[in-house]
Amino acid sequence: MIFVIVIIFIAFLVIIPFLHVHMTMRFQHAQDNDQFTIDVRILRIFHYRFAVPLIEISKKEAGVVTEQKTTTGKDEKTTFTVADARQRLAQLQQWLNRIVHLHTIVKKFLQNVSILQFEWHTQIGVGDAAKTAMLVGFGWSMKYYILAVVSKYMNVCITPSISIVPFFQGAVSRTSFTCMIRFRIGYAILAGLKIVKHLKKGEKVSGRNENEWTSN
């Protein structure tokens, strides 16, 4: 019995790198309220959803407010300010600088990522026809640029569906974005191992530079 369990476990470990991960990202924006969810699915068995239920612009300070229920069932609001964003970006940049050849690692991983769904629909208006037309033109340019970047680094398996509808009768801001990607677990594991390897290499290089600087 134990031998059978060990064989099944080994077979499962062998199969894991070849399994596909389906990740669906959805973003809904309607005036001041936003919602962002990420669904991760493997073999229609394992499913996990990460959601930021409510996002709105803070009226007291520059930032966004998220609202979600706690374990007690109460609504808890958290404000994420511009200062918080700058601090997180600085920490992220400091961490990324420690990884050697990060761009190459990420680029090779993205080459094995397939886009199975890409839908981005927007309705916008500011109450003025000329300004609305300018915003629509800017929106089309931004969407086409993002699509060009995505197509360059990833495999787009479908025809993207995008649209921008102008609204001239008043101030309106609505966006619906859905993107589904697929990749094998093995490629993600390989990319993670390379990042850890080059992270240690980067730490050794930075430590050597600091020693040389202090010795001088």
The model's pTM: 0.74
Lookup: tokens for 45: 């068995």
Lookup: tokens for 188: 């993600």
pLDDT value of position 70? 56
pLDDT value of position 73? 58
β pairing state of 75-81 and 155-156? unpaired
* Backbone phi and psi for residue 101, each to the nearest 5 degrees, phi listed first: 60, 35
Amino acid (one-letter) located at 3: F
Tell me the DSSP string of the chain. -HHHHHHHHHHHHHHGGG-EEEEEEEEEEETTEEEEEEEEEETTTEEEEEEEEEEEE-SSSSEEEEEEE-TTS-EEEEEEEHHHHHHHHHHHHHHHTTSTTHHHHHHHHHTT-EEEEEEEEEEEEES-HHHHHHHHHHHHHHHHHHHHHHHHHSEE-S--EEEEEE--SSEEEEEEEEEEEEEEHHHHHHHHHHHHHHHHHHHHHHHHHHHHHHH-
pLDDT value of position 210? 46
The pLDDT tens digits along the chain (216 residues) read: 677 777 876 776 778 888 899 999 999 888 667 788 999 998 877 888 887 766 555 555 555 666 665 556 566 666 666 677 778 778 777 776 766 677 888 889 999 999 999 999 999 988 888 888 999 999 999 999 999 999 999 999 999 999 999 988 888 888 999 999 999 999 999 988 888 887 766 555 555 554 544 455
pLDDT value of position 151? 93
Nearest Cα residue to 136 out of 175, 94, 178: 175
